[in-house]
């Protein structure tokens, strides 16, 4: 088992393969690198806005949604 300490405001993004395996009109997958870039670009926003913006990018990229898309964002709040 691996453990990790989260600092205040750190975030963890969980996602299903429908996010990274979604394809555009040329068959290119959204992929983990594109997801990581989107997450980093929007990480300064509220958790809700981060999720909304990532989902918007995924949906704009995909030609047709063929799989489920699930995103869960966990953020450590101040105690």
What's the pLDDT at 4?
87
DSSP assignment of the chain = -------TT-EEEEE-HHHHT-B-TTS-B-HHHHHHHHHHHHTTS-HHHHHHHHHHHHHHH-SS--S---EEEEEPPP-
What's the pLDDT at 79?
75
pLDDT tens-digit readout, 34-43: 999 999 999 9
- Strand, coil or helix: 61: helix
pLDDT tens-digit readout, 54-79: 999 999 999 988 899 999 999 999 87
pLDDT tens-digit readout, 2-53: 898 999 999 999 999 999 999 999 999 999 999 999 999 999 999 999 999 9
């Amino acid at each position: 088992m691996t453990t990790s300490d989260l600092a205040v405001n750190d975030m963890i993004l969980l996602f299903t393969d429908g996010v990274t395996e979604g394809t555009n009109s040329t068959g290119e997958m959204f992929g983990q690198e594109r997801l990581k870039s989107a997450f980093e670009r929007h990480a300064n926003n509220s958790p809700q806005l981060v999720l909304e913006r990532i989902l918007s990018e995924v949906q704009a990229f995909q030609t047709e949604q063929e799989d489920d898309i699930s995103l869960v964002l966990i953020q450590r709040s101040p105690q």
